[in-house]
Amino acid sequence: SYELTQPLSVSVALGQTARITCGGNNIGSKNVHWYQQKPGQAPVLVIYRDSNRPSGIPERFSGSNSGNTATLTISRAQAGDEADYYCQVWDSSTAGVVFGGGTKLTVL
């Protein structure tokens, strides 16, 4: 089955740029989606199909995907961006959904 690998944690200074990676075999050939989950809350979609932002998501959130790594980039990080972030793909070989293990973002 397909696997997605994320770092357990990423730290970023307030106002700087955070990059959260999601690794997978030839993930660049897949569509990657990203969710933000704050403590005690449900996940919220922040990026879909590699680089598209849903309405209401700040332009500070962007995504890219190439080769074996997809990346969620958060510019001008704010304290309110502290959350767990999950990447997700569709695995056509198993007709199933795959989530990465999640990355905890800390804003210092």
Partner 1 sequence: QVQLVESGGGLVKPGGSLRLSCAASGFTFSDYYMSWIRQAPGKGLEWVSYISSSGSTIYYADSVKGRFTISRDNAKNSLYLQMNSLRAEDTAVYYCARWLEVVGATWFDPWGQGTLVTVSS
Which residues are near partner 1 by CB under 8 A?
30-31, 33, 35, 41-45, 48-49, 54, 86, 88, 90, 92, 95-102
Show Cβ contacts of residue 2 under 8 Å, excluding neighbours closer than 6 positions. 24, 25, 89, 91, 93, 94, 98
Under 8 Å between Cβ of 83 and 76: no
What is the bridge-based pairing of β-strands 61-66 and 9-12? unpaired
Nearest-approach distance from CB 82 to partner 1, in angstroms: 17
What is the bridge-based pairing of β-strands 18-23 and 69-74? antiparallel
Nearer to partner 1, 79 or 95 (CB): 95
Nearer to partner 1, 73 or 98 (CB): 98
Nearest-approach distance from CB 67 to partner 1, in angstroms: 18
Nearest-approach distance from CB 101 to partner 1, in angstroms: 5
Nearer to partner 1, 24 or 100 (CB): 100
What is the C-alpha separation between 68 and 37, in angstroms, rounded?
Answer: 24
Nearest-approach distance from CB 80 to partner 1, in angstroms: 19
